[in-house]
Amino acid sequence: TANENVIYGNRGMSLEEEINLSNKYYLETNVAVIHKKPLPIQIVNVDYPKRSAAVIKEAYFKQASTTDYNGVYRGRYIDFEAKETRNRASFPLSNFHDHQIKHMKACIRQGGICFALVKFVAHQEIYLLPATVLFTYWDRRFSERKSIPYTTIQEQGFLIDYQINPRLPYLQAVDLLIENLNSVN
Amino acid sequence: TANENVIYGNRGMSLEEEINLSNKYYLETNVAVIHKKPLPIQIVNVDYPKRSAAVIKEAYFKQASTTDYNGVYRGRYIDFEAKETRNRASFPLSNFHDHQIKHMKACIRQGGICFALVKFVAHQEIYLLPATVLFTYWDRRFSERKSIPYTTIQEQGFLIDYQINPRLPYLQAVDLLIENLNSVN
Ligand SMILES: [Mg+2]
Ligand SMILES: [Mg+2]
């Protein structure tokens, strides 16, 4: 069972590192092809030395217009954002940007599967939060609260248990999302 | 009809610019969400001035491990590479990298839709070439020829006619790919 494989003490690894390792395992075992998108960079000045590689001498970080990860799993388009918080009682919506939410809404309109992988560092817990739950709170963030309660995420999200391989078996939760979609249609 | 919308004389625009414009149109009209992946950059040195944005002072271009574009259309995962050639009689396979082909093969295994958008600059023609055709020639590139004949691309690819909007209506050819997949299954 999953419990036999639970590993504690991944405190040194960032959420992104944990996801990247898991995606590497999924790729190598032919389960899914999911990659982190490179950071968008505005390049201003490049040096082309005669006998060596081009050197970027001046560049700036651009705001990403989409999310952290995308790819394909079971024929489905997968798209998600990874976020960590040190808060205990809620997940602040200020962690998300308007263009990320817009992008996820657009992907869902095309039949994609979107979610956030949310890590509560203090609880050492990672949840898959369906984008629809995120949207509900996001759309009311000015009229109601500016964060998603931890209890909501416990109830409406899927806890991802640490395992040996993949370290974060988050595609198990994606299977449940796909089942829900299939039962609705 | 499509012919009424044909535009000639896009000679000044690169294939990538033409695709980016088309994807923008597809995004704004809620047809598909397809983006160019940012170039992967190895950042070595960043300066953090007190009152202004961080400046990347030294960085290098990394080889992309995947393809140029991906996204979602009609619930399908879409993944493709854009390539231009000045050759008239064939498309040189040296334009592709091993990791790009590996990536496309992996995506197809997961049920994704993969292809190349190939521009013959001399003919001012752009074709959607299904990845399966590309793989056939790629896998024989050492034993047989190192390029795909123009006539093969004419026969097994889909010519994309320029239009006003989207400039390159390549998703029409993707519709045909999806139809073929559905009729096989
Ligand atoms: Mg993130
Ligand atoms: Mg290219």
pLDDT at A88: 96
The pLDDT tens digits of the residues spanning B70-80 come to 999 999 999 99
Res A2 pLDDT > 80: no
pLDDT at B6: 47
Q: Please, what are the domains in chain A?
A: 2-38+67-184 (3.40.1350.10)
Calculate the CA dihedral of residues B18, B20, B24, B25 and round it to 10 degrees.
20
- A19 CA distance to ligand 1 centroid (A)? 11
A80 vs A160: CA distance, rounded Å = 15
pLDDT at B4: 43
Calculate the CA dihedral of residues A8, A14, A19, A20 and round it to 10 degrees.
-120
B29 vs A23: CA distance, rounded Å = 32
> CB–CB of A67/A103 below 8 Å?
yes
Residues 70 through 129 of chain A touching chain B, CB cutoff 8 Å? 70-79, 103, 106-107, 109-112
Dihedral sign of CA atoms B169, B172, B177, B181 in order: positive
Q: Which residue of B has its CA nearest to A113?
A: B75
A165 vs A176: CA distance, rounded Å = 19
The arithmetic mean of pLDDT across residues A103-115, rounded, is 97
- Of the candidates B37, B56, B109, the beta carbon closest to that of A59 is on B56
- Of the candidates B41, B79, B112, the beta carbon closest to that of A38 is on B41
pLDDT at B67: 94
pLDDT tens sequence for chain B (185 residues): 344 444 545 557 899 999 999 999 999 999 999 999 988 899 999 999 888 889 999 999 988 889 999 999 999 999 999 999 999 999 999 999 999 999 999 999 999 999 999 999 999 999 999 999 999 999 999 999 999 999 999 999 999 999 999 999 999 999 999 998 888 76
- Taking CB atoms and an 8 Å limit, are B72 and A32 in contact across chains? no
ipTM: 0.89
Helix B98-109 and helix B131-139, axial crossing angle in degrees, nearest 10 = 130
The pLDDT tens digits of the residues spanning A4-63 come to 444 445 557 899 999 999 999 999 999 999 999 988 899 999 999 888 889 999 999 988
> CB–CB of A19/A117 below 8 Å?
yes
A45 touches chain B (CB under 8 A): no
pLDDT at B60: 93
Which of chain B's residues have a Cβ under 8 Å away from the Cβ of A59?
41, 55-56, 59
Residue B89: how many CB atoms within 10 A of its CB?
10
Q: Which residues surround ligand 2, an ion (CB under 5 A)?
A: B 68, 82
